[in-house]
Amino acid sequence: GAVVSQHPSWVICKSGTSVKIECRSLDFQATTMFWYRQFPKQSLMLMATSNEGSKATYEQGVEKDKFLINHASLTLSTLTVTSAHPEDSSFYICSARVLTSGPYEQYFGPGTRLTVT
């Protein structure tokens, strides 16, 4: 099956610094990638949808200047949390949609645990 990787799997950073999370589709091309945020014991909240080569579409309430998304190629999307604060600490999960349509359109990465101190 299709594999999506994320790097790093966990990161600790100081308040005020920026952190970049990578999401890669390893064995398929993904025209669309999704970024989710998950708080403890809660479900996934869609943050933004990114299409290769174009600007990301952010969900209501998500600050686009704080969560920068770049989808530069069909296999790589990055999420940069700028000027991170403790409230940004969360589990971030990306998902990639295969280029060709099919029932299993979205595949999920293993997630990145961000802790801001």
Partner 1 sequence: KQEVTQIPAALSVPEGENLVLNCSFTDSAIYNLQWFRQDPGKGLTSLLLIQSSQREQTSGRLNASLDKSSGRSTLYIAASQPGDSATYLCAVKAASGSRLTFGEGTQLTVNP
Helix or strand or coil: residue 88?
A: helix
**Quick one: which of 70, 82, 89, 106 contacts partner 1 (CB under 8 A)?**
106
- CB distance 90 to 37 below 8 Å: yes
Tell me whether residue 6 or residue 78 sits nearer to partner 1 (CB atom): 6
Q: Are 82 and 18 in contact (CB under 8 A)?
A: yes
Among 54, 60, 100, 101, binds partner 1 (CB under 8 A): 101
Work out whether 53 is an interface residue with partner 1 (CB under 8 A).
no
- Shortest Cβ distance from residue 96 to partner 1 (Å)? 12
Q: Which of 14, 41, 54, 86 binds partner 1 (CB under 8 A)?
A: 41
Q: Give the span between the Cα atoms of 103 and 116, in whole angstroms.
A: 37
Exposed / middle / buried, residue 97 (Cβ in 10 Å: 0-12, 13-18, 19+): buried
Q: Which residues bind partner 1 (CB under 8 A)?
A: 4, 6, 32, 34, 41-44, 46, 49, 91, 93, 95, 101, 103-111, 113
